[in-house]
Homo-oligomer: A and B are copies of this chain.
Amino acid sequence: MNAPSNSEHLQPLVSRRTVPPQALTELQQRFGTQCSLAMAVREQHGRDESAFTTVPPPDAVVFAESTADVADAVAICARHRVPIIPFGVGSSLEGHLLAIEGGVSIDLGRMNKVLSINPEDLTVTVQPGVTRKQLNEEIKSTGLFFPIDPGADASLGGMCATRASGTNAVRYGTMRENVLALEVVTAQGDVIRTGTKAKKSSAGYDLTRLFVGSEGTLGVMTEITLRLYPLPEAVSAAICSFSSVADAVNTTIAIIQMGVPIARVELIDANSVRMVNAYSKLSLREEPMLLMEFHGSPAGVQEQAQTVQEIATDHGGQSFEWVTTPEERTRLWTARHHAYFAALTYRAGCRIISTDTCVPISRLADCLLDSMAEADASGISYFLVGHVGDGNFHFGYMIDPESADERMRAEALNQTLVKRAIDLGGTCSGEHGIGLHKMDFLVNEAGSGAVGLMRTIKHALDPHNLMNPGKILSWSAPSGH
C-alpha cells in the first residue's frame, strides 16, 4: 500500500474551474429565486460532516423542485461545462458535497414528496429529498416500514448515492438490496429510468446498482422506488455489557455464524457509552456493550433471544437487560444514533475522522482489536461503534481541526486500519462511501485494473467530468482522446 499524499488525506486538493458568468445568468433566468448566489446559502451547501474544513463553497445553489428542474439545471451546466454537486441534507462524512472544483450545488431538499405508496406490493416511490424518518412517518398507517437506518436522518437520495446501510442491514440488507428502480438525470441532462417495480429482473445491465453508490458522479437521482417490509409482529431489544470489547465481538461472531436472524447487533465501546450517557442523560453501564434487536413472530423473537442470551453468557456477557416498551427502545436507539453528536459535544470544537472498514465476520476480532490497541497507544481521543453483525465498525477519532499533528496521527491510524482490513479480505468503506477521503484506499483495495474500469465508465457516461468531479476517482484523460 502506498502512503497517500498529505494533500489528499489532510485536506483535499482544491482546483476550481472558472464558472462563466453566462452560466450563472442562465440559471438565474431559468430558476429565479430558486437559484441563490448568496454567500450564506453557498457556504451552507459547501460543508458536510467530514473532517475537511477549508474548501471554498460552490458558486451557486439551485433549489430543484422537480425532475424538470434538475434536468434543466444539468443541461445549462453541461452546456457551459460547469460542475454539478447534488445535495441532500448535508450529512455526508467523506467530503462528497465539497465543491473542490467549484460549480453548482443542486439542492434536492424540496423534492420531498412520497410519490406513491404501494402497500400491496411492499414498495414505495419517493423523491430524493425525502428523509428516512419522514418516509417511515408517512407510511406508518400501512403497517410497513423502510428498515435502512444509517443513524442520521439522511435523505433517501443521499443514502442511494453512498449505498448506505446502518443498524438494520444485518437482517434487511443495504441500499444495494433495497432499491428497485430509479429515475436519473444523466450528465447530458436526459431523464432515464432504471429497473422496474418487479422484485427481481434479468433484463439487461443493472443500471440501478450502478447508480446506487455512485456518489453523484454519474447522474442525479430524481425518483427512487424502494422495498418495504411488514412491521414485525413482535420486536424485542436487549442490552448486554461485557468486560471487554473482545468478548462483545466474539459474541457477535458466534451469533452470525449460527445464522440467528437478528435484526440489529451494535457494538458500543465504553468511551461511547460515557459520552452518550452525558449527552442523552442516560445511566448505562460504562462498559463495552452490545445493543440488540429481534424482529419476528412472538415465538420467533423469543427463540432468537434465548439463543443469543446463551451465546452471550458463554462469552462472559454480564447483564443481559431487556428493553420492553417501544419508548425505552426508541430512547436506546436514539442514544446509539447520538454517539457521533455526543462526541462532538464531549470535546467541544473537535472534528471527527470516522473510519468505516468492513471485514468478513470471522476476521472482525482480529481487525478491530489490533486497531483498538493502536488507537489506545496513540493518545488520540476516540470512540468506537459498530454494525458488528456485518463486520463493519467505526472509530471516531476526535481531533482538533487546527492541529495538523492530531490530524496526521488520526490519519495514520486510519491508514493502518484500512490496510489491515484490506489484507483480511475486507473493504475501506462499509457504508460511508469513498468521497474525497478514501480515493487512495479505493485503489489499494480494488486494484488499478478495477479502478481503471470504473474510470472508463465515468469517462463514457460523463465525458466532460461535470458530475461531482474529483470524488471516488481521480480524473485522467481517456486514452486515445
Contacts and interface: CB of A to CB of B under 8 A. Distances in A.
Interface of A: 118-123, 162-165, 169, 173-174, 176-177, 186, 190-194, 196-207, 209-210, 212-214, 218, 229-230, 253, 256-259, 296-297, 299-300, 303, 356, 358-363, 390-392, 421-422, 425-434, 438, 441-442, 445-447, 449-454, 456-457, 459-461, 472-473
List the 6 closest pairs (A to B, CB-CB), nearest first: A230-B259, A460-B460, A192-B449, A120-B362, A197-B425, A209-B209
Contacts of A214: 205
Given A120-B253, A198-B392, A203-B441, 8 more contacts: A163-B202, A165-B202, A193-B446, A200-B390, A201-B358, A204-B446, A205-B213, A297-B300
Contacts of A360: 118, 121, 123, 197-199
Given A120-B362, A450-B207, A429 B202 contact: yes
Main DSSP-derived SS at the A contact region: mixed
A451 B204 contact: yes
Nearest to A450: B192
Contacts of A193: 446-447, 449-450
A445 B196 contact: yes
Contact of A358 (B123, B174, B198, B457): B198
Contacts of A422: 196
Contact of A427 (B201, B209, B447): B201
Given A201-B430, A213-B204, A461 B456 contact: yes
Contact of A196 (B162, B362, B425, B452): B425
A432 to B, nearest CB: 6
A383 to B, nearest CB: 21
B123 A202 contact: no
11 contacts: A176-B206, A176-B209, A177-B177, A192-B449, A193-B449, A198-B427, A202-B356, A203-B441, A205-B214, A206-B206, A453-B461
A194 B446 contact: yes
B206 A434 contact: no
B358 A199 contact: yes
Contacts of A177: 173, 177
Give the number of copies in the complex: 2
A455 to B, nearest CB: 10
B445 A198 contact: no
A40 to B, nearest CB: 31
Contacts of A438: 203
Contacts of A427: 196, 198, 200-203
Query: Of residues A202, A258, A427, A446, which shows the largest number of chain B Cβ atoms within 10 Å of its Cβ?
Result: A202
Contact of A299 (B196, B300, B447, B453): B300
A198 B356 contact: no
A204 B473 contact: yes
A58 B199 CA distance: 36
Contact of A454 (B207, B213, B296): B207
Given A206-B210, A360-B121, A454-B207, A200 B300 contact: no
A164 B201 CA distance: 9
Contacts of A203: 427-429, 433-434, 438, 441-442, 445-446
B229 A450 contact: no
A121 B191 contact: no
Query: Of residues A177, A303, A422, A446, which shows the largest number of chain B Cβ atoms within 10 Å of its Cβ?
Result: A446
A257 B121 CA distance: 7
Contacts of A176: 200, 206, 209
A204 to B, nearest CB: 5
A472 B359 CA distance: 35
A459 B460 CA distance: 8
Contacts of A207: 450, 453-454
Nearest to A212: B206
Contacts of A445: 196, 203
A202 B300 contact: no
A331 to B, nearest CB: 27
A169 B200 contact: yes
Contacts of A425: 196-198
A433 B177 CA distance: 19
A324 B20 CA distance: 74
